[in-house]
Copies of this chain bind each other. A is one copy, B any other.
């Protein structure tokens, strides 16, 4: 809104001269809906260059009628119009962008090459692919480069996906509640489907395609059996039809007890012929409606969900039964996130113990989905020991895009550095985690919701984006992804980009520091996971209690996972275990994850553990303060609405980082009786105050 002079003394007075000022386009109100696909107008040389070239997309005769190729052409028109701040129209002549989508370019499904070409006196940009979806991915790649101001005549964007499945897992219930969702209600409007398809379903598919995501599980892994009933299959079919041109296949989370719940059988035993027949018929019914249905995701015998062990059968028995029902048509994705209600061994050890002995027993169309770490999406965990330990089983990585344990949507935490850390971990067996999962893929627990900006916060869009980019190419650096995302989302101004990139790159370590420093884990409020609850120790199952994880007493703190303790460390390859074996040499990042040490233990920093712990809390808090200050320096560089949205969230994060730090220190002091290191301030309130806080309205609970 303009703030020119617009005052007049009264009706009879003179009208003052008013100054004409246009709002720079970069500052026009943004609500975040456009994600990284804003195509905000270029300026300077990049704009001149584009206008000089006058690009226009064309496709060969044989391709042009394909709906995916049509999407690619539309996207290029839309993007070029936006970048040039021009009406969306096809110029009469100029430089063609030629899509050749049935070329003999070799590579896995989805690969493309984007390059300038010159032939005789004509020049153009070519997008080569061997399938329409490659052309669509290539179109997005070209626009991504142009949106960063690159010169189309110097591009060479040949690329291929590193893994076949690049998947989102939605923990969305059919009633609209999203488990661990912090962005409002589910984006899936089942009630109005199939009669009405919300435009958001198209925009969602487009956003996914722009980063190479090609598979979507639409419902919560804590599944309701009714999702398999005909009325949902009919609704899902309309989604599948809408998403197919974007290269996205739909999957369903399947409740293992469905034959009993909705099938009128009295068992769900996977070896029972009637059960097998029920699933076979169900699969046939789904494929009749959705010929390219992707398959089932299953959470079985985990946190109360039904599964094959209810009948004395193994995970392989259960998975293979479903795999047979799907046949060659689809894939069973079986989650390895299991820990037993009766087993009082180290929770971090249980998935490996249950699954590794089954290596080689799973059918070819089964993938086992393993979380990045052995506990549960903590701010930092070592990589899961199953990676590399099942050479005869396809393993898929499950990451959490929604920030269940990292401050919900209101904390700025860019997660790509965490995923990069995991993907590049050397398993000591079969290469890096990225190499282990290459034959299968990556699944990310989605952070989408009905909030206008999709993710509940503008910066959480970066986590969706980075997940897709890393699933396509796990060798990308998190810093490069941050910068490329920010340039498309916020601003191309180099100084602004520097600031945003620095905020993002500091953010995840800040959360680790103010919540769970030095390898601590799972100290969040029980149930909803909001805020600190280090002191909780009275819940029925041991691993529901924060005290189970930190094990602090007057002498020391930490979980001994070496041979003197749970020996979970032995699940890792020897060279990896060796690196973490000795509390004197292990990285401080994992110290209390693997070791129980005294409060006086000397850390890698040279400081005693207690001093280092307090230092980390203080560092986490001061980093968030600094992030807020850096963001404040961008006022005027960012459109006002998003600037204010982020500022308000950072203020919340500053307050909550202090809360975490103060409550944690107050609790540790009640345990160890130690004074604060010099220069560190006392908690603002008593421990009793922090313990008295309750949050019945915390969002996203189960």
Selecting from A88-96, A354-362, A546-554, A629-637, the interface stretch reads A88-96
Copies in the complex: 2
Chain B residues positioned under 8 Å from A61 (CB to CB) = 7-10
Quick check: B1 and A74 within 8 Å, CB to CB? yes
Determine if A4 is an interface residue (Cβ-Cβ < 8 Å): yes
Determine if A563 is an interface residue (Cβ-Cβ < 8 Å): no
**Chain B nearest CB, measured from A300 CB (Å):** 25
Q: Looking at chain A's contact residues, is the secondary structure mostly helix, strand, loop, or mixed? A: loop
CB < 8 Å neighbour of A185 from B4, B23, B185: B185
Chain B residues positioned under 8 Å from A451 (CB to CB) = 450
Quick check: A64 and B7 within 8 Å, CB to CB? yes
The answer to whether A90 and B9 touch (CB under 8 A), given A31-B199, A77-B1, is no
Contact with B along A9-42 (1 / 0, CB 8 A): 1111101111111110000000100000000000
Determine if A651 is an interface residue (Cβ-Cβ < 8 Å): yes
Quick check: A641 and B199 within 8 Å, CB to CB? yes
List CB contacts (< 8 Å) of A186-217 with chain B.
Answer: 190-192, 195-197, 199-200
Chain B residues positioned under 8 Å from A122 (CB to CB) = 15
User: How far is it, in angstroms, between the C-alpha of A124 and the C-alpha of B96 when the chains are bound?
Assistant: 52
User: How far is it, in angstroms, between the C-alpha of A654 and the C-alpha of B73 when the chains are bound?
Assistant: 36
Determine if A237 is an interface residue (Cβ-Cβ < 8 Å): no
Q: Which residue of B lies closest to A410 (CB)?
A: B192
**Chain B nearest CB, measured from A297 CB (Å):** 22
User: How far is it, in angstroms, between the C-alpha of A77 and the C-alpha of B84 when the chains are bound?
Assistant: 26
CB < 8 Å neighbour of A195 from B19, B93, B175, B410: B410
The answer to whether A90 and B21 touch (CB under 8 A), given A6-B64, A9-B61, A697-B175, is yes
Chain B residues positioned under 8 Å from A13 (CB to CB) = 60
Q: Which residue of B lies closest to A95 (CB)?
A: B15
CB < 8 Å neighbour of A450 from B1, B59, B450: B450
List CB contacts (< 8 Å) of A245-259 with chain B.
Answer: none
Q: Which residue of B lies closest to A649 (CB)?
A: B196
User: How far is it, in angstroms, between the C-alpha of A73 and the C-alpha of B124 when the chains are bound?
Assistant: 49
Q: How many residues of A contact B (CB 8 A)?
A: 74
**Chain B nearest CB, measured from A183 CB (Å):** 10
User: How far is it, in angstroms, between the C-alpha of A115 and the C-alpha of B645 when the chains are bound?
Assistant: 39
User: How far is it, in angstroms, between the C-alpha of A72 and the C-alpha of B649 when the chains are bound?
Assistant: 29
Quick check: B100 and A200 within 8 Å, CB to CB? no
Chain B residues positioned under 8 Å from A527 (CB to CB) = none
Quick check: A196 and B645 within 8 Å, CB to CB? yes
Quick check: B199 and A18 within 8 Å, CB to CB? no
User: How far is it, in angstroms, between the C-alpha of A117 and the C-alpha of B12 when the chains are bound?
Assistant: 11
Chain B residues positioned under 8 Å from A295 (CB to CB) = none
The answer to whether A90 and B20 touch (CB under 8 A), given A58-B15, A61-B9, A184-B185, is yes
Q: Which residue of B lies closest to A32 (CB)?
A: B199
Determine if A452 is an interface residue (Cβ-Cβ < 8 Å): yes
Q: Which residue of B lies closest to A128 (CB)?
A: B11
Determine if A353 is an interface residue (Cβ-Cβ < 8 Å): no
Determine if A119 is an interface residue (Cβ-Cβ < 8 Å): yes
Determine if A87 is an interface residue (Cβ-Cβ < 8 Å): yes
Determine if A126 is an interface residue (Cβ-Cβ < 8 Å): yes
CB < 8 Å neighbour of A10 from B8, B9, B100, B195: B100
Determine if A57 is an interface residue (Cβ-Cβ < 8 Å): yes
User: How far is it, in angstroms, between the C-alpha of A119 and the C-alpha of B15 when the chains are bound?
Assistant: 12
The answer to whether A18 and B91 touch (CB under 8 A), given A9-B60, A196-B645, is yes
Determine if A495 is an interface residue (Cβ-Cβ < 8 Å): no
**Chain B nearest CB, measured from A144 CB (Å):** 20
User: How far is it, in angstroms, between the C-alpha of A523 and the C-alpha of B117 when the chains are bound?
Assistant: 70
Determine if A619 is an interface residue (Cβ-Cβ < 8 Å): no
Determine if A272 is an interface residue (Cβ-Cβ < 8 Å): no
Determine if A403 is an interface residue (Cβ-Cβ < 8 Å): no
Contact with B along A447-460 (1 / 0, CB 8 A): 00011100000000
Determine if A498 is an interface residue (Cβ-Cβ < 8 Å): no
Chain B residues positioned under 8 Å from A683 (CB to CB) = none
Determine if A648 is an interface residue (Cβ-Cβ < 8 Å): yes
Contact with B along A156-183 (1 / 0, CB 8 A): 0000000000000000001110000000
Quick check: B88 and A200 within 8 Å, CB to CB? no
Chain B residues positioned under 8 Å from A450 (CB to CB) = 184-185, 450-451
**Chain B nearest CB, measured from A528 CB (Å):** 11
Contact with B along A277-292 (1 / 0, CB 8 A): 0000000000000000
Quick check: B19 and A92 within 8 Å, CB to CB? yes
Determine if A652 is an interface residue (Cβ-Cβ < 8 Å): yes
Quick check: B56 and A195 within 8 Å, CB to CB? no
Chain B residues positioned under 8 Å from A74 (CB to CB) = 1
CB < 8 Å neighbour of A11 from B1, B21, B56, B100: B100
Q: Which residue of B lies closest to A1 (CB)?
A: B74
User: How far is it, in angstroms, between the C-alpha of A129 and the C-alpha of B277 when the chains are bound?
Assistant: 77
Q: Which residue of B lies closest to A174 (CB)?
A: B697
Chain B residues positioned under 8 Å from A6 (CB to CB) = 56-59, 64, 73, 90
Q: Which residue of B lies closest to A409 (CB)?
A: B192
Quick check: A90 and B2 within 8 Å, CB to CB? yes
The answer to whether A8 and B59 touch (CB under 8 A), given A450-B185, A641-B199, is yes
The answer to whether A56 and B1 touch (CB under 8 A), given A88-B23, A450-B184, is no
**Chain B nearest CB, measured from A519 CB (Å):** 31
Determine if A260 is an interface residue (Cβ-Cβ < 8 Å): no
User: How far is it, in angstroms, between the C-alpha of A117 and the C-alpha of B645 when the chains are bound?
Assistant: 43
List CB contacts (< 8 Å) of A279-313 with chain B.
Answer: none
Quick check: B11 and A119 within 8 Å, CB to CB? yes
**Chain B nearest CB, measured from A466 CB (Å):** 24
Chain B residues positioned under 8 Å from A396 (CB to CB) = none
CB < 8 Å neighbour of A4 from B10, B90, B197: B90
Determine if A591 is an interface residue (Cβ-Cβ < 8 Å): no
Quick check: B697 and A117 within 8 Å, CB to CB? no
Show 11 A/B contacts (Cβ-Cβ < 8 Å), sorted by A.
Answer: A1-B78, A4-B89, A6-B57, A7-B60, A8-B58, A9-B61, A15-B58, A15-B93, A15-B96, A18-B56, A450-B451
Per CB-CB distance, the 7 closest pairs between chain A and chain B, nearest first, are A8-B58, A4-B90, A185-B185, A195-B652, A196-B648, A18-B90, A22-B87
**Contacts beyond the supplied A21-B89, A195-B655, A196-B652: 4 A-B pairs with Cβ under 8 Å:** A6-B59, A9-B61, A19-B92, A184-B185
Binding site for B on A (CB under 8 A): 1-2, 4, 6-13, 15-23, 31, 56-61, 64, 73-74, 77-78, 87-93, 96, 98, 100, 117, 119, 122, 124, 126, 174-176, 184-185, 190-192, 195-197, 199-200, 410, 450-452, 641, 645, 648-649, 651-652, 655, 697-699
